[in-house]
Amino acid sequence: MANNLIFVGGASSSGKSTFVKELKKKYNCDTYRRLDAFKDCAVQKGYDEANMFSYVSSEEADNQFISFCTQHNCVVSDVHYALQRNKDFVSIDGDLSYVATLSNNLINTLLNLNTNISAVLINCSPEVIYSRMLDRFNRGERSMRSTNVEEVKIQSIWERKMWEQLIQKFDILPIELDSELFTPNELVDQFLNFNQSTKSKKKVLVINNGKNNTRNNK
């Protein structure tokens, strides 16, 4: 059974993947995403990964994800806490429609298995995120996930909203890090120091402006 599960979320190009890579270097952990669970389920069913969302349900992917976690001592999962349902759909209040990606059943099942869950939110300004997107696109590494800074801003807002809902609803450890102010190596050290020193899961570590601040999560 997994002793620890660490979700690492944030807007695209906020620094999630880089943080996960650095964390894996310093911490004895395995990496696994829900996307990997969809892929594994598709392969098990004999389908191509290209069509996995047509043949694999979210429930099946969640069960595969839980199965992986129960077989590893520590798992780090790169996630988006919010997923844009339809880019052409705009809600009543003018925001693009986003939904939570982590189901209540997934989190409840993991907690019932006595898994210690941490939820990391990687922060970065929309301007810097968009600049990173452009750099990666120009290097041919990734496609553009957003067409302008405003779209990045909306995505960042929804990532925070869904992260806050998650940490308010469940007994998990919330940690907020800033990839604009600190190097990936520094962020990993901050995470590990806080994760090892606190026993209160109703505290949120907020690291910004060169200072570590702990606030209550009500």
Q: What is the DSSP letter of 140?
A: T
Average pLDDT over residues 145-167: 90
CATH 3.30.200.20 fits 4-28+76-216, yes or no: no
* Residue-range domain boundaries for the chain: 4-28+76-216, 33-71
Query: What confidence score (pLDDT) does residue 200 get?
Result: 45
Quote the pTM value.
0.83
Query: What confidence score (pLDDT) does residue 134 get?
Result: 87
Token pair 């894996």 in the structure block, residue: 24
Average pLDDT over the chain, rounded to an integer:
83
- Note the pLDDT tens digit of each residue in 105-127: 999 999 999 999 999 999 999 99
Cα dihedral 180, 183, 185, 186 sign: negative
Are the beta carbons of 106 and 118 closer than 8 angstroms? no
Tell me whether residue 125 is exposed, middle or buried, using C-beta atoms within 10 angstroms of its C-beta: 0 to 12, 13 to 18, 19 or more. Answer: middle
